[in-house]
Structure 1
Amino acid sequence: MVLQLAEAKGEGDDLDEERDAYVVAMQELLSAKAGGDQVKSAAEPAVAGAPLVDIMAALKASIAETQAQREAAAAPAKKTTAKKTAKRSAPKRAS
């Protein structure tokens, strides 16, 4: 059953050709190095996508914003003074 699934999924794909191309490229690379030739590395492809973000700058900005919000929320609230309780005098003893 696994073999049937692999055959169905792999229709049109010839893994032997891909492996052979890799082996040929590696053999060329190794023979060039062994012969003392300089080997040029392939240029890295440019990554297209979202622009780079400075994570530390974003974190600092977020912290500053949160602190400003907390300070703004705490500023209008006034502290209430604690009420003092009346002192109780000791009960008088009957003599």
Structure 2
Amino acid sequence: MGMFGKLFESKKPAPSYEIHQDDEGLIKSQDFDWWKTLTMDELKAIEQQDNIARMTLYSHCTEIKGMNKEDALNKVKRSFPIYYLTLT
């Protein structure tokens, strides 16, 4: 992120949320520490990159591979799962 982003980005921290007890063993302390360092703007940028990758895969599946829309959507959901939340 450039100088402009560092000066004017939101300092609002990443939201906290509960982890389902079945998933607690999958998350390391380093993951929690990393999450605490992120701002909302950084999370939104990550989400935007994920959405671009999802759309790219969907387009590839439908336009290049000739998959129908439902199969392509299922492929995207399996390749880029969404676990807990989406940012607003």
TM-score (norm 2): 0.30
TM-score (norm 1): 0.28
Structure (1 or 2) with the larger CA radius of gyration: 1
Higher share in helix: 2
The structure showing larger relative contact order (alpha-carbon pairs under 8 Å, at least 6 residues apart) is 2
